[in-house]
Amino acid sequence: MAGAAVRAGQFVRLAAPSLSYCTRFGAEVPAAAAQAPQPSPPYGSRKPRAQRVPADEDPAARAFSSAPAPGSDNKSFLWARYGEMKRLVHDLLPPGVCNLLNPSTIYANNEISLKTIGVYGFDYDYTLALYSPALHSRIYNTARDILVEQYKYPKGILKYEYWPNFAVRGLHYDIAKGLLMKIDAFHYIQLGTVYRGLKPVPDDEVLEMYDGTHHIPLHQASGFYGKGPAVKQFMDIFSLPEMTLLAVANDFFISNDIDYDPIHLYKDVTDAIRDVHIKGFMYKWIMQDLEQYILHGDETYAVLHRLAKSGKKLFLITNSPFSFVDKGMRYMVGKDWRDFFDVVIVQADKPHFFNDCVKPFRRLDSNGDLQWDKINKLEKGQVYKQGNLFDFLRLTGWRGSKVLYFGDHLYSDLADLMLRHGWRTGAIVPELETETKMVNTEQYSQALTWLQALTGLLERMQMFQDSESQQVLQDWMKERQELRALTKNLFNPQFGSIFRTCHNPTYFSRRLCRFSDVYMASLSCLLNYDLNYTFYPRRTPLQHEAPLWMDQLCTGCMKTPFLEEMAHIR
């Protein structure tokens, strides 16, 4: 039993890092003045305007002026501004200054105090139980074999091995066109992330296929649960093998010049993946080799032990069958795992569990067989199948904001609970750990900072319309595109970060913020916080507020004597 030797007290509690103080700007002052205490003006009073040296008397200020000095040509002026800005960014970004993000941090979209939470609920797969990447490879291989053996697809597809880093979660798939792509929060395709098969589609072809735009209209896009009439969004972590198999099957037919209907291919691949789950292949693999497939079981034990010891009510609602959950929980927590939970519900059929009131609860006996008695209360130590949330609320009385439910699927686990029922919700996003580590690297922070600064230069200097100046601006635009590609490829060469496109949040991020109060890499992040802790979301700037929010730069504790100039780096 993996969790027997680990107890909650063995985990070191970490202070949550202050993430929004990464960047602060202030005007430089003489050393003597900096050492002298300065009286604070009364709240609401206007501070006296600082005396400034005229630009024509201050060489440094002249270097940052928006107009060329007398006698200089525009081209030289623009490149001088470019050089000064690059040196400034380099000087103000000391090594390691952005290595502040803790992968074990819990991030807040809404203010929430754990002190008010009396009931904690959990999904099972990718919430209580985290799985190793080896599971995705096996799902892919089995579904690929089903395509060949049962759906009579060409055997050449068998030559394609699983590509674990091909896709990322949250992508959209145009069913009729056979295109896998990343879409931002405003329904725009991120050009450079559109793939037909395993090959990228050039931007001009994408625009041609979508009638001169890269916008996906609302009526075509994925619906509330990610399943639109023409475009599907892949939100489940289990969907990574499915996206890869779709790309592989498309690639085989295209590479071999075989005529096919992308709609038929999509249905066949989806059915093959579904067979892996419905026919119990995945459950059997995990149950036969728990040690290979289940990760961090000791941490799951520690979380449950700590919550139960603190007097919190715990419940489990999962779509997985009892025999599968029971074996996994025995491995992670111990044979008495049900003692932690006040209610256990399996094969719940989420998301329908949360939005209909038709299916009744059925009790399972110790052998997992269905009983026929009417359920008038949900008892600790018992296991229930199916049911619906309306009966759950009636029988438990657990309503509203005192309940916090954790799950990995934004649609199936969290959306209805937040929007319809007022529960607090926590999203488990395992990808956060690797993405946070990348954001902490010097390469990424330097590239992002210079990208922001260069964008500010382009915005301010576009007033120069002569041919030489326009050529300089074109050179800057090219460099900006290269920086965008670099910051994208650091996360994933094909599709970039799951959280953002070049400058907008992804569609996935939009849903993450909409449907979760807090999000984290794993449940074990709870071990870093006191159970009376309050999570405060940081006020983030709107575009018209951005010049006043200098931490838009995300560069660390930078200081500049030219606040008004740096305000345009955003």
Q: Which residues participate in catalysis according to the annotation?
A: 123, 125
Q: Is 336 marked within a binding site?
A: no
Was 289 annotated as part of a binding site? no
Residue 115: CB atoms within 10 Å:
11
**The residue count for the chain:** 570
137, 146 Cβ separation under 8 angstroms: no
For residue 415, give the DSSP letter: I
CA 130 to chain centre: 16
Count CA atoms closer than 13 A to 10's CA, side-chain side.
10
211 known ligand binder:
no
AA identity, residue 569: I
Cα gap 420→401, rounded to integer Å: 12
* Element spanning 180, H or E: strand 179-181
**Residue 462 Cα distances to 42, 90, 458, 510, 515, angstroms:** 42, 24, 6, 31, 40
Of 163, 231, 174, 173, the closest CA to residue 198 belongs to 163
All residues at 6 or more sequence positions from 109 whose CB lies less than 8 Å from its CB, including other chains: 512, 513, 516, 517, 518, 519, 537
For every residue of 331-370, which 3-state class applies, written as one string? HHCCCCHHHHCCEEEECCCCCHHHHCCCCCEEEECCCCCE
- With vertex at residue 409, the alpha carbon angle to CA 380 and CA 268, rounded to the nearest 5 degrees, is 115
Whether residue 177 contacts residue 262, with contact meaning beta carbons closer than 8 Å, is answered with yes
Where is the binding site, in residues? 123, 125, 408
Binding-site residues from annotation for Mg(2+): 123, 408
Residue positions forming the annotated binding site for GMP: 125
